[in-house]
Structure 1
Amino acid sequence: MKQLIIALLIAIPLLNVTAQDRETHYSSWNTIDINKKLNDKWSVNTEFNFRRTNFLRDWEQFIIRPFVHYTFENDLDIAMGYSYIKNYNYSDYSSPIDAIEHNIFQQLTIKHKFSTFSFDHRLRFEERFQQNVIETETNSYTIDGIKYRNRFRYKFQITVPLKTFTSNRALRLVVYDEAHLDFGNGLRPEKLDQNWMFLGFSFRASEHIKIRTGYHDIYAKRGDLFINNQVWETTLTYKI
């Protein structure tokens, strides 16, 4: 409960903006996550993220994210990975031209299970290598080298079982909040970059397949502008 209160306190300032300060767009984010368990301790997985916006007309992002996990116990997982991210130009407030980011991340996930629900903490630190977009003349842009930034992400998630059909088929409620802290190119947080809130359902269809779908509300601050991305997000996880 203490962690949930902290997450809400982080999120509330982002919600307190006027319509004049906010740009809203609507997106569909779809992810395929392929997971392979190597043994009791080690596993690998790769995410393929297909993110489209403006009612599916335009690409927003495409992400490939492979990473490797080591599990100390059932409730403690560490991971390292790499993300290839292509950011598309889809509006006046997005990147003015398509640009690519490469990032390396380290991640710690702590799980707590209770009789009727569970909650997770996920802490991720990212080293981000972004193509630097500059304006060469009016409304003309190009890539000029790479800029480096760090970012810390904290995600607090609650999962509540709703109905168990068989040992491999179950329906759960999923709620999470994730705060992104921009560290600039140093090791101290400079600002709250964006905040993600999600409400949806997770359905385990079989031993190998799980589907999570729901509403994902994102606030990001870019200068004096608040950008609200209202997303319907679906993730298909396949365990080999």
Structure 2
Amino acid sequence: MMRFFILFSFLCFGITNATGQNTSTRYSSWNTFDVSKKINQNWSINTEFNLRRTQFLKDWEQLVIRPFVHYKFENDLDIAFGYSYIRNYKHDGNSLPLDIIEHNIFQQLTLTHRFSNFILDHRLRFEVRHIGNITELFNGVYDVDGARIRNRFRYKFQVRIPLRVYSDNRVLSAVLYDEAFLNLETGLRPKKLDQNWMFVGLIFRVSKQVKVRSGYHDIYAKREDLFINNRVWETTLTYTF
């Protein structure tokens, strides 16, 4: 399984760099506040607030608000259904010509494998995306006219390795993941690799309720004839009550 993950990561990295000579590089800061409420042994609800800025914090990149509900089985199988409100901001010459809104409905399945020295997570997410449709009125003047629907499939493979256990509720862990985004357009068959995300960082569980994750997040996205490499420092604060 580990060999598969390493091969998969290098394959995705190789694909995104195959024509990397036409690449735009960004430097961003993504910060997330994740609130989770456990209802009972199986059901819980989450809401993520993602504040994403770019160009060394100069400009807004995205605002994402994502509420969803989980049902967890006893065998480390988790299913979830949710909605994402995504505001994409115009921020440089290679971004959108104006701000647009995306309404995103998703279903996901997460399977966890626990070993003595590490934990593996597989997350599969299917998204139905309602994206503002940009039209050019005349000579560089744009407007949003309705919405276009696009489907997307995401597969995330994550490894968590405990580094130091301070107490039952205070643990420092390393985390590494790769996530591939497949553009399905309006159907269910993958058309192309839309994005690839790679992350390496640390997770510190401060208490039973509070967890902090921080690290480097490298993103390659294909946009027309341009590759966008977004180099992100990402921090997530999770509060469970």
Query: Could you say whether these structures have the same fold, taking a TM-score greater than 0.5 normalized by the shorter chain as the test?
Result: yes
* TM-score range normalised by the length of the shorter chain: over 0.9
8 Å contact from structure 1 (residues 3, 156) kept in 2: no
2:18 maps to 1:16: yes
Structure 1, unmatched stretches of 5+, are none
Deviations 1:47-103 (A, max 9, x none): 000000000010000000000000112410000000000000001221110000001
Match of 2:154 in 1: 153
- Alignment of 1:192 onto 2:193: yes
**What is the alpha-carbon distance in structure 2 between the residues aligned to residue 180 and residue 8 of structure 1?**
15
* Cα distance in 1 for residues equivalent to 2:22 and 2:160: 34
Post-superposition offset of 1:166: 1.2
- What is the CA distance between 1:138 and its match in structure 2? 1.3
Q: Which 4+ runs in 1 deviate beyond 6 A?
A: none
The aligned residue for residue 229 of structure 1 is 230
Return the alpha-carbon distance in structure 2 between the equivalents of residues 2 and 107 of structure 1: 25
Instruction: Using the aligned pairs only, state the percent identity.
Output: 60
* TM-aligned CA deviation for residue 130 of structure 1: 0.5
Query: TM-score w.r.t. structure 2 length?
Result: 0.97
State the TM-score, normalizing by the size of structure 1: 0.97
Q: How does 1:204-219 map to 2 (within 5 A)?
A: 204-219=205-220
Matched to 1:10, the amino acid is: C
In structure 2, how many angstroms separate the alpha carbons of the residues matched to 1:31 and 1:6? 27
Aligned residues: 239
Q: Distance in 1 between matches of 2:184 and 2:56?
A: 32
Aligned residue for 2:37? Answer: 36
Runs of at least 5 residues in structure 2 that lack an aligned partner in the other structure: none
Equivalent residue of 2:15, what SS?
helix
1:17 deviation in Å?
Answer: 3.7
CA RMSD of aligned residues (A): 1.0
